Amino acid sequence: MSEVASTATPTDRGPESSVAGAPPEGRPAGQGSRTAGDSRSNGGEPAALPIEARGLVKRYGEITAVDHVDLTVEPGDVYGFLGPNGAGKTTTLRMLLGLISPSEGSVRLFGRDPIAEGIHALEGVAGFVEEPRFYPYLSAQRNLELLAAYDGGGATGRIDEALETVTLTARRHHRVGGYSHGMKQRLGIAAALIRRPKLLLLDEPATGLDPAGMRDMRALVRRLADEGMTVLLSSHLLTEVEELCNRVAIVRSGAVIHEGRLEDLLEAADGDYRLETTDDEGALRLARAHRGIADALTEPGALGLRAERAAVAELTLELAAHGIGLHTLTPRRAGLEELFLRLTESAPATGPRPEA
Amino acid sequence: MTGALTAYHWELRKLVAQKRTYLGLAAAVGVPLLFVAVLVLSDGSPDEIPFGAAVRESGLAIPLVILLFGSIWLFPLIVALVAGDVVATEDGHGTLKTILTRSLDRSSIFIGKAMASATYAVLALGLMALVAGAAGVLAFGFEPLPTLSGPPLQPARAVVLTLLVLVVYLMPLLAVAAIALLLSTATRNSTAAVVATLMGSLIMQLLGILPGLEAIQPYLLTTQFSAWMGLVREPMDWAPVGRAAWVCALYAVPALAAALVVFLRRDVAGG
């Protein structure tokens, strides 16, 4: 752990990097007060980023599972890695963790290459790819003891706390083979926590959980993020991502089609309005003739617009000038789900991909 | 080396927790017991094999006869059950990705697995010898052991010699374990690794008895399972033992090296 101690963490940054009492930049309310985007240590030197992937490619024969992926995860981020099933999320995570070698490109975790430096690059990093797997014939306690022994550095002493965190203390001596899917997911988190990571990579942590389990998993991730952990959350559960993440990358067919602050993505999608007027046909004609208004369409009992903010104001004046009364004017903000579908369904697919 | 010892310790604990571990050990215990029981309940003896005619003269001959029987399939199977499974089972359970993302390097994990496989081979062989010897002595007495040439050995000396025989017998057994480990690492499939190891052993046994192949027979791995017989002569013939040492190394070292390379370089894409 000491080898990456110089990297920026939420507690070792300078005072300018944190906005006490205010929601962090781009971070949904209720999360910690860290500022995404800051990656400088106390000394002002640029700190190594938790994750920096450049031009990552993974090919299986003729098939490209991951296609020139760039990812930048900054300290304090809760980073959503989104994509449909088979988009290459898991393959990318495997490369990040050094489980598979990229065909091209580079990965750095806190400045270290997991392929070239092996486990040394994973200091301060933990998580799981696909569902967490354990020895089914051993108890949860024994599984964690094994992993703690492999980790060294006092990890064994953190087992009790980790099990408590994921509320598995009462079942710690039961064999994992008898665990439910949700319990295994929680045990996966516990196995990650005993490493006391600064970066947590979670691959679909809520998949297969019941609603209560999903809620608990979200609360746990939020809590860990609030405690200062940088989290990369691979998911296709968009409500989960929208609730937890401040930055996202959206992948489709192995390629990143959007990366940036979630807030920016949502704001960029602003500009949808719904109008109810005394004369929708007349209003439609005026809207279509107006500069700055696109996609004016009639909807049942209303008019849908995609327009610049200023153009909407001008349109209301114009409607009034033409004697068309305005019942309602409602801005509509696209949710992440709608944006995700827009982005992923409009992006061109490049052909079949292996399970990823 | 500390990392390898940690991995070794936990590989042993995993073996203790798995049922299949006890299958091999049960066979190592059960076969000599069955053999002695049959001898006690009948009046025949396996006269056609070395020491076969001596089993009723001295209980100390029983372990040696079992070694000869066991070299055909029993011990290769017992060893393959663990060595052929030790890496592949991690693929099967998807746990390879779990342990390879911790702070123990791949080479330490591999060494731990190889050491655990070797330990199991030693344990199975030792257990067989102990049970076979004890059952034999109970049934046929602690009597001087006839040798293949020369006068019989006094019981105490025969016991010491049997220990030496076991060490020599262990050489091809460990080579089989190394091959099973390679197959386990390369195929990522426990059943395939165990079956392939056993088939390889049986094919070599077959090659060892086919006429016209005398030139290669001294270099077959399975031939080395008989090297210990040089020790049960008066005077001792160490030549087969020396050849067994380097022939076994010729099989084991490349197999282990290849398995290590595969383990270090492999993509962990499953599970």
Say if CB A165 and CB A115 are below 8 A apart.
no
- Residue A213 in any domain: the answer is yes
Say if CB A214 and CB A206 are below 8 A apart.
yes
Chain B positions touching A185 (Cβ under 8 A) are none
| A258 and A279 belong to one structural domain | no
Average pLDDT of the residues in B72-90? 93
Task: Single out the residue in A218, A241, A263 at which a domain terminates.
Answer: A263
Q: What is the CATH number of the domain that holds A24?
A: 3.40.50.300
With CB atoms and an 8 Å threshold, state whether A142 touches B103.
no
pLDDT of residue A44: 53
Q: Which residues of chain A have pLDDT under 50?
A: 1-27, 29-42, 347, 349-356
d(CA A338, CA A111): 35
d(CA B193, CA A273): 65
| A326 and A211 belong to one structural domain | no
pLDDT of residue A149: 96
Residue B169 scores a pLDDT above 70: yes
Query: Which stretches of chain B sit within 8 Å of chain A by CB?
Result: 6-7, 9-10, 13-14, 17-19, 93-95, 97-106, 267-269, 271
pLDDT of residue A197: 93
Average pLDDT of the residues in B134-159? 91
> CA B256 from chain center: how many Å?
16
Regarding predicted confidence, which is higher, A302 or B8?
B8
Say if CB A159 and CB A187 are below 8 A apart.
no
- Residue A320 in any domain: the answer is yes
pLDDT of residue A14: 33
Residue B37 scores a pLDDT above 90: yes
- Residue A103 in any domain: the answer is yes
d(CA B254, CA B186): 14
Average pLDDT of the residues in B160-185? 96
d(CA A175, CA A135): 9
* Total structural domains within chain B: 1
* Total structural domains within chain A: 2
**Phi, psi (deg, nearest 5) at residue A63:** -95, 130
How much of chain B, in percent, has pLDDT values that exceed 70?
99
Q: Vertex A121, ends A188 and A41: CA angle to 5°?
A: 100
Report chain B's mean pLDDT, rounded to a whole number: 93
Average pLDDT of the residues in B119-133? 96
Residue B54 scores a pLDDT above 70: yes
pLDDT of residue A350: 47
Q: In which domain, by residue range, is A299 found? A: 271-332
Average pLDDT of the residues in B246-270? 94
- Among A3, A135, A138, most B C-beta atoms within 10 A, so best to mutate, is A135
pLDDT of residue A217: 85
pTM for the whole thing?
0.82
Q: In which domain, by residue range, is B76 found? A: 2-264
With CB atoms and an 8 Å threshold, state whether A137 touches B17.
yes
Average pLDDT of the residues in B91-96? 92
- Residue B212 in any domain: the answer is yes
Chain A positions touching B269 (Cβ under 8 A) are 91, 94, 99-100
Regarding predicted confidence, which is higher, A302 or B225?
B225
Query: Which stretches of chain A sit within 8 Å of chain B by CB?
Result: 91, 94, 97-101, 118-119, 122-123, 125-138, 142, 146-147, 149-153, 191, 195
Average pLDDT of the residues in B113-138? 96
pLDDT of residue A47: 73
| A249 and A275 belong to one structural domain | no
Q: What is the CATH number of the domain that holds A293?
A: 3.30.70.100
| A9 and A80 belong to one structural domain | yes
